[in-house]
Amino acid sequence: MFENHGSFGALPDSSRLSLQADCENCFGLCCVALPFAASADFAIDKDAGQPCQNLQSDFRCGVHNSLRQRGFRGCTVYDCFGAGQKVSQVTFGGRDWIQAPESAKQMFEVFKAIRQLHELLWYLTEALTLQPARPIHDALSLALDETERLTRLDPKSIMELDVAAHRANVNALLLRTSEFVRAEALRSMKGPSDRRKTYGRGADLIGAKLRGADLRGANLRGAYLIAADLRGADLRVADLIGADFRDADLRGADLTETIFLTQAQINAAKGDAGTKLPPSLTRPTHWSSFGV
């Protein structure tokens, strides 16, 4: 049995509410700003800045309840981390791109930048709940405050931001957080360590046979787990930031206490009622279509 030792705090729901998509208060930005190509994820081609054919005049999706059946699986996976409503209601003060077409291009570019910053806020908020990382909590708090400040700049200032540089600085802190947390967790694990599989950052695990694998405390940052068989795998305290879970089979897998897992990653995978998720994430409705 894995021993927690109180290393993980509860995720602060109040601080994460603004980091969850609120489509009712967004001007359909992801449906316009982002491009996509006809593929297994999208039924059609669409250029950046071109409204999706399914977007209605009230900024609602006309086929929201049947996206997967109509070939728009990619839409059900995407998550803006609340950037849509921030840009719509705060940055542009509730004035949409139809009312002010002269600001449309700027709004779409700002949305892309804010989306990246909000993703960082999601990770930083989680990092501050992880007690093993307490030696760098002050640095994490400063990074959180600075990232939030950047999201509230005016559109012109946001367009001038070097988001990549800021992301690199934050990522260094997130990596240290991961090292602290996984090191403490590994010390508490029982059983021969040589039986535990280890992988490097960005590992190519496409289609890998990992059923029942002990991946506790693994570094799977940026790993390619596309269509991997992870049925019954133990992923507790694994660092999953940026891992690609498209069509990965997570039925019966244990993802409780994983580090930096997002709703978009879960949405892209396959799972069932036996898949154990962190309390901050929601079981996708489409999982009910997969057998046990």
**Domains defined for the chain, CATH in brackets:** 13-34+78-184 (no CATH), 192-292 (2.160.20)
| Residues 197, 202: Cα–Cα separation, whole Å | 15
Give the mean pLDDT of 30-44. Answer: 93
Report the alpha-carbon angle 26-30-31, nearest 5: 100
CA-closest candidate to residue 124, choices 143, 152, 151: 143
Mind listing the pLDDT tens digit for each residue in 105-157?
Answer: 999 999 999 999 999 999 999 999 999 999 999 999 999 999 999 999 999 99
How many Cα atoms are found within 13 Å in the side-chain-facing hemisphere of 60?
6
Residue 4: CB atoms within 10 A of its CB come to 13
Using an 8 Å Cβ cutoff, are 206 and 185 in contact?
no
Question: Is the CA virtual torsion 90, 91, 92, 98 positive or negative?
Answer: negative
Return the pLDDT at 286: 87
Answer whether residue 45 shows pLDDT above 50.
Answer: yes
Q: Is the pTM of this model over 0.85?
A: yes
Q: Rounded mean pLDDT of 182-200? A: 71
CB atoms within 10 A of CB 194: 6
The position carrying tokens 């993703």 is: 119
Closest to 126 (Cα-Cα) out of 236, 257, 284, 255: 257
Q: 10 Å Cβ neighbour count for 115?
A: 24
**Tens digit of each residue's pLDDT (9 = 90 or more) over 60-87:** 999 988 998 999 999 989 999 999 999 9
What burial class does residue 10 get, using C-beta atoms within 10 Å of its C-beta: 0-12 exposed, 13-18 middle, 19+ buried? exposed
| Residues in contact with 165: Cβ distance below 8 Å, sequence separation at least 6, in sequence order | none
Backbone torsions φ then ψ of 198, nearest 5 degrees: -125, 145
User: For 226-247, how does the pLDDT look when each residue is reduced to its tens digit (9 = 90+)?
Assistant: 999 999 999 999 999 999 999 9
Largest CA distance in the chain: 64
**DSSP readout, 62-131?**
TTGGGTTTTT-HHHHH---TTHHHIIIIIITTT--TTT-GGGHHHHHHHHHHHHHHHHHHHHHHHHTTBG
